[in-house]
Amino acid sequence: MKNHYDVLIVGGGPGGALAAKTVAENGLSVCIVEKRPAIGVPVRCAEGIGEDLLHEFLEVDPKWISAKMESAKIVSPDGSEIKLTPKMAGSEVGYVLDRKVFDRDLVRQAANAGAEVYVKARVSDAIIQDGIVKGARIEYMGDTADVTAEVVIAADGVESKFARWCGIDTTVPMREIETCAQYIMTDIDIDPHETVFYVGNNISPEGYAWIFPKGDRMANVGIGISGKMSGDGHRARDYLDKFVETTFPKGKKIELILGGVSTCRPLKCTVADGLIIIGDAARVSDPITGGGIYNAMYTGRLAGEVASECIKKKNCSRAALMKYDTMWRNSKMGRALERNYHLKELFITLDDKKLNAILNSVKSINMAKFNTMTLISELIKHNPKAMLIKELAALKKLID
């Protein structure tokens, strides 16, 4: 490991990998430091990503894909089902990845482009001089090294500490942390090409349960609940055990993962002098679905581009790096985050009766013509106006 790079990247997830690849392709020196002993493991993800979203960045390699989805289904609290095509279902279907392979391959691509990669290299502090982020302290091979860089990219995921060490408020309120538990289950009866989402406050309060197939008779089966609903005897894993007991009583669990996703708004500012924050560390995962692979790659690539440009112009001040913050906020992804934050805030107020009413109304919509306006008109047509009055007003505001 050298003691200086143009760009130092903390974290070897999809965000860090895309940032590193972009910087290396710009001909600059870049190093990824990853605290785990191997890239991509353990997986803390349901591994779903939209087809178009993945193709936006990369030539898709078939070995990354566990299963390709053709549809999605939402099951409402009363058990009725709404079937959606991949186009309708949005970004969470398309592919179910094998992230052990995918994450490693993204880092391999960055390395092939010229990035240095160190695993079992834990960043333990930020180096700050005169208020400017200058690098990171790294625990590696029993030694501690101070490594400096023109720009540090914090890609250290949902548990991110680096930005906090740089004085940025990264706190996520408990109610906006979705605590998740997931089994990889096998020997279960599923449609191998359909993702299934279950909503309802009994199943997963202020969250949802999912079945993401990973091939024949095998799937990621998980649940996310609001952190504020979690407590002794009613944690995400308790809800998950109850769910699998009824849904797949004979299924076998071959892996358990526990993890968290943030459903809050993104950080107020994702740059500082010498610093860019990306992916889950910037809190850019989707507030409704918790999906963040695409957003991490999107912000990672953009951060790599802006950092390279600023380094070449010899100006890595907050003002110069601000281009990154402005660009992602104004992007389709940034606008979707803001809209979905409001939708999430609306969603969590719904009791099961209202969830049933909304989902049953959606059932009668011609999916080929689905849009927010048709949704609202169906809701008005099928429900006593008084029941959903607040929700309709909120939905209208979102599309105005």
Ligand X SMILES: Cc1cc2nc3c(=O)[nH]c(=O)nc-3n(C[C@H](O)[C@H](O)[C@H](O)COP(=O)(O)OP(=O)(O)OC[C@H]3O[C@@H](n4cnc5c(N)ncnc54)[C@H](O)[C@@H]3O)c2cc1C
- Give the residues lining the site for ligand X (CB under 6 A): 10-16, 33-36, 44-49, 122-123, 155-159, 161, 180, 182, 222, 259-261, 279-281, 285, 290-294, 296
Alpha helix stretches (DSSP H) within 1-65: 14-25, 51-55
For 106, 188, 192, 193, the CA distances from 216, given in Å and listed in that order, are 26, 9, 6, 9
The burial class, CB within 10 Å (0-12 / 13-18 / 19+), for 366 is exposed
Q: Nearer Cβ to ligand X, position 158 or 357?
A: 158
User: Which is closer to ligand X, CB of 235 or CB of 363?
Assistant: 235
CA–CA separation, 399 vs 18, rounded Å?
A: 33
The CA distances from residue 337 to 38, 315, 377, in Å, are 31, 29, 24
**Shortest CB 18 distance to ligand X, Å:** 8
Q: Which is closer to ligand X, CB of 120 or CB of 335?
A: 120
Minimal distance, residue 295 CB to ligand X, in Å: 7
Query: Of 162 and 248, which has the nearer Cβ to ligand X?
Result: 162
The C-alpha angle 320, 147, 127, rounded to 5 degrees, equals 65
Which residue's CB is nearer to ligand X, number 296 or number 359?
296
Output the CA torsion sign for 74, 373, 331, 275: negative
> Of 251 and 279, which CB lies nearer to ligand X in the complex structure?
279
Least CB distance to ligand X at residue 157 (A): 3
Closest CA to 122 of 139, 105, 109: 139
Residue 278 CB, nearest approach to ligand X (Å): 6
User: How far apart, in Å, are the Cα atoms of 59 and each of 55, 75, 116, 318, 343?
Assistant: 6, 34, 22, 33, 33
Cβ-based nearer residue to ligand X, 31 or 82: 31
Whole-number Å distance between alpha carbons of 128 and 381: 59
Closest by CA to 14, choosing from 285, 337, 257, 289, is: 285
- Tell the smallest beta-carbon distance from residue 83 to ligand X (Å): 19
Query: Can you tell me whether residue 214 is helix, strand or coil?
Result: coil
Q: Which is nearer to ligand X, 213 or 292 (CB)?
A: 292
Nearer to ligand X, 54 or 75 (CB): 54
Determine how β-strand 143-154 pairs with β-strand 132-140.
Answer: antiparallel
Task: Give me the residue label for tokens 């880092």.
Answer: 107
Q: How far apart are CA 359 and CA 197, in angstroms?
A: 12
In the complex, what is the shortest distance from the CB of residue 272 to ligand X, in angstroms, rounded to a whole number?
A: 17
Closest CB to ligand X among 69 and 350? 69
Residue 258 CB, nearest approach to ligand X (Å)? 8
CB of 50 vs ligand X, minimal distance in Å = 9
Q: Cα separations (Å) of 354 from 287, 330, 359, 370?
A: 20, 33, 8, 20
Minimum distance from residue 73 beta carbon to ligand X (Å): 16
- What is the DSSP annotation of 81-131? EEEE-HHHHGGG-SEEE-HHHHHHHHHHHHHHHT-EEEESEEEEEEEEETT
